[in-house]
Amino acid sequence: MLQTQISRRDILKIAGVGGAGVLLGASGLTGVLTAFGANPFVDDDESVDNKVNFYGKHQSGILTKNPKHVYFASLNCTAGSKAELKELFRLWTTYSVSLMNGQLVGPNSANALLPPPDTGEAAGLDPAHLTLTFGVGPSLFEKKELGLAHKKPAELKDLPHIPKDQLDPRYVGGDICVQACADDPQVAFHAVRNLIRAARGKVTLKWSQTGFNSYKQKGKKVETPRNLFAFKDGTGNPDTDDAKEMDKVVWVQPGQSKSWLTGGTYLAVRRIQMHVETWDRTSLSGQEATFGRHRDTGAPLGKKGEFDEVDLELKENGKPVVPENSHVALARKVKDRILRRSFSYSDGINPDTGAFDTGLLFMSFQQNPSQFINIQKSMGRADKLNEYITHRGSALFACFPGVKKGSFLGAELFN
**Cβ–Cβ contacts within 10 Å for residue 387, how many?**
13
List the one residue out of 376, 273, 385 whose CA is nearest residue 325: 385
> Digits of tens for pLDDT over the chain (415 positions)?
333 333 344 334 434 443 333 333 443 334 434 443 456 789 999 999 999 999 999 999 999 999 999 999 999 999 999 999 999 999 999 999 999 999 999 888 889 999 999 999 999 999 999 999 999 999 999 999 999 999 999 999 999 998 889 999 999 999 999 999 999 999 999 999 999 999 999 999 999 999 999 999 888 889 999 999 999 999 999 999 999 999 999 999 999 999 999 999 999 999 999 999 999 999 999 999 999 999 999 999 999 999 999 999 999 999 999 999 999 999 888 889 999 999 999 999 988 889 999 999 999 999 999 999 999 988 888 999 999 999 999 999 999 999 999 999 999 999 8
Tell me the three state secondary structure of residue 271.
strand
In 229-342, which ranges are E strands? Answer: 265-274, 315-316, 319-320, 339-340
Predicted TM-score (pTM) of the model is 0.90
Cα separation of 257 and 264, whole Å? Answer: 10
The domain spans of the chain are 1-38
Q: How far is CA 350 from CA 74, 191, 263, in A?
A: 22, 28, 40
Phi, psi values for residue 232, rounded to 5°:
-65, 135
Phi, psi values for residue 221, rounded to 5°:
-90, 130
